[in-house]
Structure 1
Amino acid sequence: MLTLYFSPGSSSMAPHIALHEIGTPFEQRAVSFARQEQRDPAFLAINPEGKVPVLLIDGRPLTEVAGILYYLARRFPQAALLPVDDPHAEAQVVAWMSFIAATLHPSRRRGLEAANKAWALAELRLAGRDWAVDRYSIADIHLFRLFWRLAGSLKPERAAFPGLYAHHERMMARPAVQRTIAVESAIGYELPA
């Protein structure tokens, strides 16, 4: 049994999308930042860091977006979210995930100039491709969630990031993304600034 603890619009949106892409049954448990449910003793017993996402796998917690996405892609290979038949492409997915977590994710909090520099690197890495690697993968899900937030909060110039905006539009057309956004927006977004 899989249970996803998430907060709408937060980084947990990425594994939420992946679960909808896979199509496997899972339980959804929204965690309210406004009510500080991430600090509730019951939640801290699951994740002492008090962060989402958490994926409970038969009662065992797995945290961190990249770890959860990798687990889901490996556990459900029929979803083709990881190119396991190509070691180089699989390594490129891991490289993208590392770049997203270490460079892109923290850049938003450093302001528009820092974010623009980091995202310019992402634009170069994407280099006119439809997807982060040769085909759709968990790297695209992770990249989308962060750009979705950046585009909504800092509103970077479309002309500066044509590839990222095109990627964003392709992602927004995916049924799993639409379903996740519908579920999360019905609950309501409580994102910190």
Structure 2
Amino acid sequence: MPRVSKRQILTQALPHVEAVITDLQATSPEQAEAVSTVLRLAEEGVQAVEMRSRTSPGSDKKPFSFDVSTALWLRASDAGGVTAVVIDGWEKFLAGGWQPVEPVRSRGHSDAVKAPVNLRVPGVLLESVEARAAELVAEKGWRTGRGYVLNARQIATQWLARTYAGPKGAPSDWSENERQTVAQALSEAKATKKKPRVKKPE
């Protein structure tokens, strides 16, 4: 059974705690404030644990590799800090701040050149992402076929595509999943009248 991270436990408890705070605000504001304080301290504690896990010399780091299209890799590597970007996406996913789309299998044979991405990431975080991804697949009833099941690699790829989405759509050699994720990011940015995080092509 995969180990459950403190972040995942806090994320699962958050809606219930917020509901309690809402109820208490009407009957006992002081108690509501006390529960809010405990929730804030719990969040700070989880953040501290995650920071130590990420920065400690003896922290559990595991090799993590996945393939992306060359177009996406050139944008990401040119900007730098790919590991930090992937970890940021994973943490947002676990916290419920972002949800990936269902992976799809590309139609037909693709001649797009793929580039390998090789990183070292916190082992506990990686396990938590894999566990939450499996839960989301079950909740949504998504397919689990080989090659397009949602997992940490798919989530990392989607987050990179979302982060480096082009202002006029995706390059023609991006994968179907990358195009789908970019389209979603641009659509959301348009709906909220905010510019997506863009790394313009050369």
Fold-level similarity (TM above 0.5): no
TM-score (norm 1): 0.36
TM-score (norm 2): 0.35
Tell me which structure has the larger Cα radius of gyration. Answer: 2
